[in-house]
Amino acid sequence: MVAAVTGFPARCRLRPHGGFAESRRYERRRPEKTPLHKIISENVESWLEWREAAERPVPSYVEDELRGYLACGILCFGFARARCTGCGQGFVVAFCCKGRGVCPSCNGRHMAQTAAHLADHVIPPVPVRQWVISVPKRLRGMLADRPRAVAVLTKIFLDEIERLLCAAAAGASDPATPPSARPRLGGISFLHRFGSALNHHVHLHACVTDGVFVPAADQAGSDAPPTFLPARPITQADLAVLTERVRRRVIRWFRMQRLLDATAAADMLAWENSGFSVDASVRITLIDRDVPSYFRSLEHLLRYCARPPFALERLSVIRGPDGRIARIRYVLPRHKAANWVGPGRGRTSTRPGANGVVELTPFEFFDRLADLVPPPRKHRHRYHGVFAPNHRLRRAVTSLAIGNIGKRNDAGHAGEAHATGCCDTQAKPRSHDTSRIAWAKLMARVGEEFPLECPNCGGDIRLIAFITEPGPIRKILTHLGEPLEPPPVSPARGPPTDWGELVQIHDDRDVFQASPDELPAIDIHSL
């Protein structure tokens, strides 16, 4: 017997920093019932045709993302069959689109997978601080379409952070230190192209070790691990100096690349409020860093840095009298509501602290969403310092991560340190990619409930087949009572057909509006 996965029974779990709370139940997602699926299926064809008519064609990767999302999670496009090894109960799980910018489910998987890999296999047990930088609006447009400018901003920002950490770590700022023994930080940078209100806002987040790594002395041997020197607390004066140095270096680079003229560069340097903003208030200590469900944990911070451009639960639609979607509402985070008031932006309530709301037409929503979709074949996070792929200390530092303890590293890199366990002589090199984590393990980490557990007997659920042929798909879905056809996609809507409306006509002198009854009659036989 085969049944659709609808939900698992809830169990109470002990929260690490609180009392008992009910566990989440795993339920098969139904994207066709979400507001986002309705918005895209009813308006995507009209929007694409409108952009073509306006001579603003949509990039092919954006169109592929939108069309791929319409097939994501729909059983009639194929699914995987699973069976309980205990009672024999069967289940089906729909395929995903593996999108990068539109699908909330695929974006959520990428977010959880990135955070789990970095927390388990990259970052060792040291304090971590989040650094955030935003640039003036005058430069954001240049960062949006110039990858080199983003790379330069990232390099300058991480260089100045390393300079500050070396000065803040005791014994790390010795001028007599040779270049090979120079202290280095470990960091991961995330490029965000979005703001909290579906707006295009290019800025950087960086998770950096709150201290520096010092290579071992030459006489200590190649297997000696590096020494970590923690940094003292960062003060507002430190942030002010760092912000000013970043500001001057970034403006100088834009001036040298002739993206800014001398007058504009001098004007920006003379601003009282520079427009460069640096925040370093979030710091994860060793006490809380490995508690997944705690909002101050390292994995929670990494999920925040790798988050998608929008949250599905904040999206809703308003339909007009004709039943079509007239307005799209996006609720802002509570901490953003106080300062978000302006044209097209309102509040759900006048009381202090009420959430702000952004209201858009469907075409305006699509325009903003197209700007937030990341380009293909572009990294969404990068490694710096000792975490860089070719740094000679990377293997020695990452071997101290919690997921690498007791595991042998791959051989073949002479002169690099590696971790050894108690059974290192019998261990085999790892052959799997730790950045790819099984779907069930990710669900267990996010929801603290293992999804591959039978709700009837508690046995293990195993995948037994992948169904991709139309015939078997229809037979199984007919047995389950699931729809055999995907949700309909509305065709592109043409111009209004109500001839009571005014139409636009042209003559040799001007463009004016006229009623259809006033249009001149044309004898087609005279043409």
Q: pLDDT digit string (tens) for 145-196?
A: 888 999 999 999 999 999 999 999 876 666 666 666 788 999 999 999 888 8
pLDDT at 408: 57
Rounded to 5°, the CA angle 308-70-82 comes to 90
Q: Is 204 within 8 Å of 189 (Cβ atoms)? A: yes
pTM of the predicted structure, to 2 decimals: 0.78
Q: pLDDT digit string (tens) for 461-518?
A: 888 888 889 899 999 999 988 888 888 888 887 654 444 444 444 444 444 444 445 5
- What's the rounded mean pLDDT across residues 306-311? 90
* C-alpha to C-alpha distances, 232 to 11, 166, 187, 218, 286, nearest whole angstrom: 43, 10, 18, 27, 15
Name every residue whose Cβ is closer than 8 Å to that of residue 361 and which is 6 or more positions away in sequence. Answer: 326, 327, 328
> Helix (H, G, I), strand (E, B), or coil: what is residue 411?
coil
What is the C-alpha separation between 366 and 45, in angstroms, rounded? 11
Q: Is 248 within 8 Å of 269 (Cβ atoms)? A: yes
Q: Look up residue 453 and give its DSSP letter.
A: B
Q: Look up residue 336 and give its DSSP letter.
A: G
Q: Name the nearest CA neighbour of 206 among 132, 106, 118, 293.
A: 132
What is the C-alpha separation between 260 and 247, in angstroms, rounded? 14
pLDDT band of 42, cuts 50, 70, 90: very high
Helices (H), 232-297: 236-256, 262-269
Higher per-residue pLDDT: 408 or 275: 275
Q: pLDDT digit string (tens) for 58-116?
A: 999 999 999 999 999 899 998 888 888 888 888 888 888 888 889 988 888 889 889 98
Look up residue 162 and give its two tokens.
Answer: 């390393």
pLDDT band of 521, cuts 50, 70, 90: low
Instruction: Give yes or no for residue 423 having a pLDDT over 80.
Output: no
Q: Is 36 within 8 Å of 365 (Cβ atoms)? A: no
* C-alpha to C-alpha distances, 272 to 41, 223, 458, nearest whole angstrom: 48, 51, 64
Instruction: Give yes or no for residue 342 having a pLDDT over 70.
Output: no
Rounded to 5°, the CA angle 331-336-342 comes to 75
Mean pLDDT of the chain, nearest integer: 78
Instruction: Give yes or no for residue 354 having a pLDDT over 50.
Output: no
Based on its alpha-carbon atoms, the radius of gyration of the chain, rounded to whole angstroms, reads: 28
* C-alpha to C-alpha distances, 147 to 142, 153, 185, 193, 360, nearest whole angstrom: 9, 10, 24, 12, 29
Look up residue 173 and give its two tokens.
Answer: 């700022």
Q: pLDDT digit string (tens) for 258-276?
A: 999 999 999 999 888 888 9
Higher per-residue pLDDT: 499 or 209: 209
pLDDT band of 211, cuts 50, 70, 90: very high
pLDDT at 198: 86
How is the chain split into domains, by residue range? 12-103+436-480, 122-309+373-384, 318-362
